[in-house]
Structures are given as C-alpha cells and as structure tokens.
Amino acid sequence: MTQRVELATVRDRLAVDEVVTEYAVAVDDGDWETYRGLFTSDGRADYRSAGGIEGDAGKVAAWLAESLRAFPVRQHLIVNRRVRWGVREQDTGDTARVQADYVNPMGAAAGGDGPAVPDFVCGGRYSFGMLRTDEGWRLNEVIVCEKWRRLPARPAAPVVH
C-alpha cells in the first residue's frame, strides 16, 4: 500500500467517524434537520429492537422527535467503532460498514439547582452502512440492536400488616 493510499484511508476513516459523531449529536440535541441530512436520499433506519420503527430518515426523525420528547436530556456515548470498507461499482472504498457499541442515558429536564438524573439507560450496538457521495460520506442504513436497558427504580410498595 502506498503512502498516498494510506493517507486517503486515514482521511476516509476520520470522515466516517465524523458522520457517526454527528449522528449522536443530532439525536442528543434533537436536531432533526441535521439527522435527515446525514442520510442518503434513500437512507433508512431501523429502531425496532429498541421498541421503535423502521423507515426512511424523515419518518424515523419524526418518530424520534415525538418519542424522545419525554427525555429532553440525552447523551449518546458511541465507542468501540469498527470500520470495514467495501466495494461499489468496481471501485474500492466507496462503502463502509461501522459497528459501534453505545450507552445512552436519558432523563427528564433538570429540576431546581441540580443536573438531570438519568431516568432511563440503554445500551447495545449500532450498525451504520455508509456510502461515499458527491457531498461526502452519508448514512444509507442505521440498524439499532439494543442489548439491555435499565428503567428507573420504583419505590418499594409499603408493607401491609
């Protein structure tokens, strides 16, 4: 592999990583215009494993906006990113598949003087399918595989004697 090819691979890796980060920030900030803009025109997302829907980016963005209204405080932590490059139209490096683990604490707005406390925490793995486009790397598929969730602790029921 030549130094030029290695540099191009590093640049693509950084660009793909930036899309994943922009995705997390868009969801956390409720920036649904940016969320939709991260996808190709035919891009789709599948949140069914987390109790959600599957559909095009616009439909899923609308569902997320409504579903996440109860949790205005969100913070995706996306780690362990593994990138695999693919081939499209006989050219190398036009596709990428990123698998990444996530932990996602969410909570109601902070009350009083203190910070918000997570009411709900879930974790799992994302599978991001990406395409190189004229506008740069874009998502053409997002699949969420939720592996666990922790709901808020409920107060113990009073003991009746």
Q: How confident is the model at residue 147 (pLDDT cuts 50, 70, 90)?
A: very high
What is the structure's pLDDT at 88? 60
What is the structure's pLDDT at 41? 96
Q: Give the chain's domains with CATH numbers.
A: 3-149 (3.10.450.50)
What is the mean predicted confidence (pLDDT) over 22-28?
Answer: 98
What is the structure's pLDDT at 108? 78
Residue 17 has pLDDT above 80, yes or no: yes
What is the structure's pLDDT at 112? 59
Residue 155 has pLDDT above 60, yes or no: no
C-alpha 6/C-alpha 22 separation (Å) is: 24
pLDDT in tens, 52-100: 999 999 999 999 999 999 888 899 999 999 999 986 655 556 899 999 9
What's the pTM value of the predicted model, to 2 decimals? 0.85
What mean pLDDT value characterizes the chain? Answer: 88
What is the structure's pLDDT at 5? 65
Dihedral sign from CA coordinates of 100, 103, 107, 109:
negative
Pairing type for strands 73-74 and 77-88 reads unpaired
What is the structure's pLDDT at 151? 79
CB atoms within 10 A of CB 100: 20
Backbone phi and psi for residue 74, each to the nearest 5 degrees, phi listed first: -135, 150
C-alpha 27/C-alpha 65 separation (Å) is: 9
Burial of 39 (0-12, 13-18, 19+ CB in 10 A): buried
What is the mean predicted confidence (pLDDT) over 34-38?
Answer: 98
Residue 16 has pLDDT above 80, yes or no: yes
Q: How confident is the model at residue 120 (pLDDT cuts 50, 70, 90)?
A: confident
Burial of 3 (0-12, 13-18, 19+ CB in 10 A): exposed
C-alpha 24/C-alpha 76 separation (Å) is: 6
